[in-house]
Amino acid sequence: MANEPLDVAPPDPPRIAWRKQMRERVLREAWLLSTQAGWDRVRVADLAQRAEVSRPSIYAEFGDRAGIGQALVQRETERFLLGVGAVLDRQRGDVRAALEAGVGHALAQARSNPFVAAVVSAAQGGTEALLPYLSSRPEPVFSEARRLVAAWLDVVAPHIPEERRKEAADLVVRLTISHMLLPTPDGDSSPKRVARAAHAVLEMPVDP
């Protein structure tokens, strides 16, 4: 009925609202410092001063400096994958073209997104402070990206056996991260090559 009240969630209690605001301020300052000077130079004392909170409050929320790094990468991962998912969904009718566009978007973000670019540049320069979150640890980036691509393939290619869909999703993510860390001289062709490889795993027709 027109006069029924809207189902609006109640506001957070003051303490929870403060914690959310504090957490976001700390992560925002960690993001800025990481992009400006690299994660190796991010210190809890600096974050406390810049975010205008106490160090004990930061430790209580994140556990330690590594916890801040993990939370920061998790937040950026969610934003990054939302963008990739949106690109994939725009071309659901053409699996190969969609994968090529999605990989292209991811590689472009590695160059233009200040945080992603900072992590990649640091890794290429021999500093791997945040790199483990992008490559070796199961969470958040690798597994979440693989789940995203696999779920998308479940929708757009349900006729392909599940094992091949999972294999293709794994291949796309591994090759994309590899191209982020070790760009090829002809980088513009990388998305096409990754999409072609995934298409072959899916055993779909491939253009010459």
Q: What is the pTM of this model?
A: 0.76
Element (H, E) at 203: none
Instruction: Out of 9-13, 126-130, 150-154, pick the least confident.
Output: 126-130
- Which pLDDT belongs to residue 152? 96
Interacting residues of 117 by C-beta distance below 8 A, sequence separation 6+ = 35, 110, 111
What Cα–Cα distance (Å) separates residue 143 from each residue in 59, 140, 183, 190? 27, 6, 22, 22
Q: What crossing angle do the helices spanning 55-62 and 65-89 adopt, rounded to 10°?
A: 60
Instruction: Out of 153-157, 171-175, 180-184, pick the least confident.
Output: 180-184
Instruction: Write out pLDDT tens, residues 105-130.
Output: 999 988 888 887 776 666 555 555 66
Binned at pLDDT 50, 70 and 90, residue 164 comes out as very high
Rg (alpha carbons) of the chain, rounded to whole number: 20
Binned at pLDDT 50, 70 and 90, residue 7 comes out as low
Q: Residue with structure tokens 């298409």? A: 199
- Which pLDDT belongs to residue 128? 53
Report the C-alpha gap between 55 and 75 in whole angstroms.
21
Binned at pLDDT 50, 70 and 90, residue 138 comes out as very low
Interacting residues of 35 by C-beta distance below 8 A, sequence separation 6+ = 114, 115, 117, 118
**Is 137 a residue whose pLDDT tops 90?**
no
Q: Highest-confidence range of 70-79, 99-108, 121-130, by mean pLDDT?
A: 99-108
Phi, then psi, of 182 in degrees rounded to 5: -130, 75
